[in-house]
Amino acid sequence: MEPDPVRELERQVEAGSVFAHAVLAAQAGRVDDAEAIVRGLVELLVERGVVDGDELVAAVDAVRTQTDIGVAIRVDGTEMAGTPVDCATRLPICHAVCCRLRFPLSVDEIEAGGPLKWELGRPYFNRHGADGSCHQCDGATHACRIYDERPAPCRQYSCAGDERIWTDFDAMELNQEWIDAHLGAGADEVFMAAGIRSESDPASGPR
């Protein structure tokens, strides 16, 4: 059987991306070491009165730039399931809005080449289709095609009590205003990912 050239290209892109970000991680370690040296030096200079702390902070803020390469890899801890939800009853109302949320894949999921793919343009978040939902969410039924193999964030997540999704969970009233504002085209919301914050909602994170 001839190898699938598209899958081989995807495998090569995945391998190259993992390598590139492994190198970035190594460089980040070196940067952390350099930062520790600089901070220690600054504290010593302030302590000895060589520089004024407030003036130094103002000078740093004046030239500060922020860099965010937007890369995340998930590290799973102890798995704890959220409050059970009768998804079948809610799907006609919510249309699987949770499948429009993003989360990072783990190293094992990336390297195994399993059914859940990562977004090539946004490593290593779960891939979304043109409709804005996870690529394994059935567009007609909104059901998960890999439900029995779904990753830890999906198994752990529960929309019960998630005020981003429901203004009234028991009455099944959607928080449509938040959904429209944060889960439209190009949104990068993240859920159930330790240490990760959404660019569109800095207050979001582990629940």
Q: Is 125 found in the same domain as 92?
A: yes
Amino acid at position 146, single letter: I
Q: Is 178 found in the same domain as 118?
A: yes
**Residue-level pLDDT, tens digit, the chain, 207 residues:** 566 878 777 877 887 888 888 888 888 888 888 989 988 998 899 888 988 888 888 888 887 765 556 778 888 877 777 789 999 999 999 999 999 998 999 988 988 878 999 888 888 889 988 888 999 999 999 999 999 989 999 988 899 989 999 999 999 999 999 998 888 765 556 676 433 333 333 333 332
Q: Is 53 found in the same domain as 107?
A: no
Look at residue 176 and tell me if it is in a domain: yes
Q: Is 93 found in the same domain as 175?
A: yes
Q: Is 92 found in the same domain as 178?
A: yes
Q: Is 152 found in the same domain as 105?
A: yes
Q: Which residues contact 51 (CB under 8 A, 6 or more apart)?
A: 42, 45
In terms of residue numbers, what domain contains 133?
A: 87-182
Look at residue 93 and tell me if it is in a domain: yes
Q: Is 176 found in the same domain as 108?
A: yes
Q: Is 96 found in the same domain as 153?
A: yes
Residue 165 and residue 99 in contact, taking contact as beta carbons nearer than 8 Å: no
- pLDDT for 56 equals 84
- pLDDT for 170 equals 95
Look at residue 114 and tell me if it is in a domain: yes
Q: Write out the E strands in the chain.
A: 166-168, 173-174
Q: Is 103 found in the same domain as 157?
A: yes
207 to each of 79, 141, 171, 204, how far by Cα in Å? 13, 27, 21, 8
Q: Is 103 found in the same domain as 156?
A: yes
Look at residue 199 and tell me if it is in a domain: no
As for how many domains the chain has, the answer is 2
Look at residue 198 and tell me if it is in a domain: no
Look at residue 195 and tell me if it is in a domain: no
13-51: buried (b, 16+ CB within 10 Å) or exposed (e) per residue? ebeebbeebeeeeeeeeeeeeeeeeeeeebeeeeeeeee
Q: Is 167 found in the same domain as 92?
A: yes
Look at residue 80 and tell me if it is in a domain: no
Q: Is 107 found in the same domain as 24?
A: no
Instruction: Tell me the two tokens of residue 203.
Output: 């207050």
Look at residue 107 and tell me if it is in a domain: yes
- pLDDT for 172 equals 96
